[in-house]
Each structure stands twice: as structure tokens, then as C-alpha cells.
Structure 1
Amino acid sequence: MFIHMKELQYRAKPERPDPVFARKLQEVLGGQFGEMSVMMQYLFQGFNCRAEQKYRDMLLDIGTEEIGHVEMLCTMIAQLLDGAPADEVDKAAQDPLIAAALGGMNPQHAIVSGLGATPTDSNGFPWNSRYIVSSGHLLADFRANLNAETQGLLQVVRLYEQTTDAGVRDMLSFMISRDILHQNQWLAAIEELEAIDGPVAPASFPRERTVREATRQFINFSVGEESRQGPWASGPLPDGTGNFEYVENPQARGGAPELKPAAMHQHSMPGTGPYVANEGRGLK
């Protein structure tokens, strides 16, 4: 069960209303890498977890915290929208300078949600469950979690730089701090899992069934050879199965495809004659 506390995890009070910034905050609430996404991602991974109990418990701990972050953002957005009802917006817009500032406001905040947050991104596109990853494979999922926290942190840092409101910055500073912590948690969990099964996920596919040279060749498919200077082109493979090999001039190995002609078909259609597949020339 879940228990809701009325107190927020951290302060979420702006110095002054700012409907334009409220729209921007919608991105880190309901965007692809927003708090709604990490909340649902971690919770579903936890609900579905069949691994050791400590992993399930960690996922549910962090996922439940993200529910609180969603509430913090909704609270902040609602307060940023305070004092900006539709009639006041219309009056203010008579001043050209104010109209230019209000031009960035999300009209749905005034029309649809009654000056409240919505489960959408900054352009009003609704959040959807395809943003989340819950595969049942811990290493694959934890890497997806690390990516989600990385992209989310990047967006929150950019938002921090786009406001001078001390109250908004205070909340964003806390969210940045938690994103840093969560990245470190996923890195630690990934390191632990890699020590058990190695860095390649999944590790269960038999290597004898792979094309061995294809598992180690870095192929130069573009003009230029600068890419050969990186550790991904030479030296030991991270999974310990050999060394990278740089292939300067890749050669085609599959031959030119030759597809058989389509089978002959006849289809009677009302009011027309039969349609017959004509080899190499479509239908006639």
C-alpha cells in the first residue's frame, strides 16, 4: 500500500507567478524524461521484479520518492500560475511588452486545467507509457534508469539557468541533488551486476552461436579514420573475451540479393477483370 503525507519532501514555493516558466516546468513533469516517467519506470520495474529482494526494495524506494517529486512539481506549477486567470491575461496582453512575455504561456493551463499542472510535456503532448522501460532484465533496466536520470538532470539544470526566481531555483537545486544521487545509485547497482554476469546484457546467449569476428570488429563505415583513435577501436574488450579490431575497408560478405518473382495470383474485383501479378512489372 502507499501512504501519502501532506508535507512535501522539499520546499516548492516560487517568489512570484510566472506562467511562462510554468509551461517550461511541464517538460520535467510530463515529458519523456520527466518525473512521471521515472516514477512509473521504477515502480513497474519494482512491481515486476523477480530477482533478489534488495533490488525490488530499492526500485520501490526510489519510485515512491519520485511520486513525491511529481507532487512537488505540480505544486510549483500551480503557484507559478497563481494570479494569471484568463481574464487577467487578456487585460495584461493589452500591454505589448507583457503580451510578448505571456506569449509563451500554455493556454491549456487557463482553459483546460484551471491553472493547474497537467500530465503533459511543455508543448501539451500527453505523457504516455511508451516512455518507460521495464524489461524484467535488471542490468538492461538499470542502464535505462541511468539514462533517464542523466537526461532528466540535464533538463533540470537547463531550467535552473533559465530562471532567477530564488524559490524555483531552491526546488530545482534539490531535484538536481537527488538526480545526482540516483545516478550514483544506478551506477553502483550496474557495477554490482556487471561483476556477476559481465557488462554485456543479456549474458545468457551462447557465444559459440555468434559470428565471432563480428563481436570484436569496429568497422569504419564512414569517410575518415579519426574514430580509430578511441578505446572502442583497439585494446581489450570490456567483457574480457578478446581485443577490438579496427577494420579500415569493410567488405560486403552477403552477396547481392535476388528475390524470386511474386507468385501468380488472380483476384476478381467487382466491375473489373482479374488482376494478375506480372513478373517484374507489378499488376495488370
Structure 2
Amino acid sequence: MFFQEPELQYEVTVEEPDPHFAKLLQQAIGGQEGEMRVAMQYMFQAWALPEGYEEYRNLLMETAAEELGHIEMLASAVTKNLRGSSKQMSDDAQETAATAAAMTGQNPRQFLSAGESAMPVDSNGAPFTGNYIVASGNLAGDLYANVMAESTGRTLATRLWEYTDDPGMKDMLSYLIARDTMHQNQWLQALETLDDPVPVPASFPQEQENQEFNYTFMSTRREEQPDPEYPWTQDEAPDGKGQFSYAAEQPGDGEVIAPQPSPMTNDTPNRTDESSDSSE
């Protein structure tokens, strides 16, 4: 169940409308690092949780609803950068902003298809895709994915903050950056409440995995290299169940040649007798 209020979660003001910045803000709406991604991700993760996980479901749904509010804020910011405020801009200035959005390398579809407003697309105009969403059904795995999502989202927001000189946009982005800080920490804290957050999934018996390679850092260099003695080649593993070690080479001995395809695929080209002989 959802409710809505006719106000933004946080104030959004634009002092100097910038159609190009409106295009960049689209990445924070429909891009891989954007708010549509995390809102949908948290919802589908929550809907997969069974009985007995109510506190995690509530955490996910509360945050998902907050992210919907962030989409609304960013959509308002995009529209204000494209149209400007009639109280702040003259007719000539509004026409200039609209023309810039349509004709000077910004996203023309924001003018042509959306009438100077936000769209569910990224900064290149590519539509949002559900392929960005991680909802595996495994709570620990999903929480790790959420830390990553908030980390890349915060990185994007800081880059947008660095790009703009508009005080209103900096203020809005400062708020979103702060919320990403909270969300990174809340997902990490939620992981701390799980008995075995790593390796994922914890339910798979580790005695069934190859014991020779489960805590071994494997070098893929052609020439054998000595152990660099990094923490991930010699210290105790974070899960407390193994000791890191170093392998200077890969196991090898795997068969490279693929089996013959079915004749029905017509995959095999005709070969001359000469080429056939040379391969023997």
C-alpha cells in the first residue's frame, strides 16, 4: 500500500536554468546508478522475503518509498532546468532554454517527446531497464548489492554536485548525498545482524566446495610471480573460516577444444584437403 502527499521530500530550487544539466540529471533518475534502480530494487527484494523477516522487509520498503520521493525531486529539478520559473525568467529566456534543450546537444526528446520535462531515461536518452535491478531472493547477497548501489549512486551525486554552480542544485544534491551516506551505513549495519553474511549463500555446505582453492588468491600472470604478501594473500579471511594463501599459477590442464557441433547447425565450413592436412 502506498500514500502520497502533494509536496516534495526536500526543497528543489533552480536559480539559473540549465538544459544541459537537466540532461545530466537524467542519469540520477533512469541511469544505472539512478533512483529508479534502487527504488525498484528494494521493493522487489522486500517482496521476496518470507515470514519471519518483517524487520528487513520494513527496512527495504521504507527506503524504497524514500527513493520514490527522490525520483520526484529529480524530476522536478529536470523540469525546472528545462522550463525555468515564469516568475524568474522572461519569455525570451524561457524560449532560449527550450531551444537549447532541443537543438544544442542536450536531449532533444525532453522537448520533443516530454514537453520540457523529465523522462524515465538516462543521460543518453536510453530507457530505464529492469536489468539494473538486483533482487536475488538471498537477503545477504541483496544487502551487499544495495551497498554497491548506494556507493555508485553517491558517486554520481557527488559528480553532479561538482559539475553545477547553481546553489539550489547544490543544496538538493547535498541532501541526496547525505541520504546515500545513511543508506550505505544502514545496509552494512543490517549485514552485521546476520549470522553468516559471507560467503553467500551461507546455506550451501562449504565442505562441498573445492578446499584447495576456496581461500587462494590466484595469479594469472604468464611469468611466475612471488607472493606480494598483501592482506588478501596471507591474512585470515573476513569470514573467519579460512586463511588466505597465494598460488603463483592457475591449475591448467583443462580441455580447450570444443565437441563437434550437430550437423543440423551447419556450423562446420568446408575445408580443402591442403588445410585439412596442415592441421594434422
Q: TM-score, normalised by structure 1?
A: 0.83
Tell me the residue number matched to 2:40: 40
Tell me, in whole angstroms, the C-alpha distance in 2 between the residues paired with 1:107 and 1:215: 52
Match runs of 1:57-96 below 5 Å: 57-83=58-84, 92=96
The 8 Å contact of residues 38 and 149 in structure 2, kept in 1 or not, is answered as: yes
Unaligned runs of 5+ in 2: 86-90, 273-280
Tell me the residue number matched to 2:208: 209
Tell me the residue number matched to 2:158: 157
Where 1:26 maps in the other structure, the secondary structure is helix
Distance 1:169 1:260, change over 3 A: closer
Deviations 1:53-110 (A, max 9, x none): 10000000000001111000011111111159xx9699859xxxx979x724211111
Tell me the residue number matched to 1:182: 183
Tell me, in whole angstroms, the C-alpha distance in 1 between the residues paired with 2:20 and 2:152: 22
1:192 partnered with 2:170? no
Tell me the residue number matched to 1:167: 168
Tell me the residue number matched to 1:15: 15
Tell me, in whole angstroms, the C-alpha distance in 2 between the residues paired with 1:226 and 1:158: 39
Q: CA deviation at 1:240?
A: 2.0
Tell me the residue number matched to 1:270: none
Tell me, in whole angstroms, the C-alpha distance in 1 between the residues paired with 2:63 and 2:114: 28
Distance 1:260 1:171, change over 3 A: closer
Q: CA deviation at 1:16?
A: 2.1
The 8 Å contact of residues 261 and 280 in structure 1, kept in 2 or not, is answered as: no
- State the one-letter code of the partner of 1:69: H
- State the one-letter code of the partner of 1:133: V
- State the one-letter code of the partner of 2:62: D
Deviations 1:140-194 (A, max 9, x none): 001111100000000010000001100011100000000000001011011222x
The 8 Å contact of residues 262 and 279 in structure 1, kept in 2 or not, is answered as: no
Distance 1:253 1:14, change over 3 A: same
- State the one-letter code of the partner of 1:208: E
Q: CA deviation at 1:237?
A: 1.7
Tell me, in whole angstroms, the C-alpha distance in 2 between the residues paired with 1:35 and 1:278: 49
Q: How many residues align?
A: 264
- State the one-letter code of the partner of 2:43: L
- State the one-letter code of the partner of 2:208: R
Deviations 1:113-133 (A, max 9, x none): 001100000010000111101
Distance 1:186 1:278, change over 3 A: closer
Distance 1:107 1:257, change over 3 A: closer
Tell me, in whole angstroms, the C-alpha distance in 1 between the residues paired with 2:249 and 2:206: 26
Q: Percent identity?
A: 40
Tell me the residue number matched to 2:238: 238
1:132 partnered with 2:133? yes
Q: CA deviation at 1:206?
A: 1.6
Tell me, in whole angstroms, the C-alpha distance in 1 between the residues paired with 2:149 and 2:226: 30
The 8 Å contact of residues 25 and 77 in structure 1, kept in 2 or not, is answered as: yes
Q: CA deviation at 1:45?
A: 1.1
The 8 Å contact of residues 120 and 127 in structure 2, kept in 1 or not, is answered as: yes
Q: CA deviation at 1:48?
A: 2.0
Distance 1:225 1:162, change over 3 A: farther
The 8 Å contact of residues 36 and 67 in structure 2, kept in 1 or not, is answered as: yes
The 8 Å contact of residues 261 and 279 in structure 1, kept in 2 or not, is answered as: no
Q: TM-score, normalised by structure 2?
A: 0.84
Tell me the residue number matched to 2:217: 218
Unaligned runs of 5+ in 1: 268-274
Tell me the residue number matched to 2:148: 147
Where 2:246 maps in the other structure, the secondary structure is strand
Tell me, in whole angstroms, the C-alpha distance in 1 between the residues paired with 2:269 and 2:115: 62
- State the one-letter code of the partner of 1:25: L
- State the one-letter code of the partner of 1:199: V
Where 1:110 maps in the other structure, the secondary structure is helix
The 8 Å contact of residues 191 and 197 in structure 2, kept in 1 or not, is answered as: no
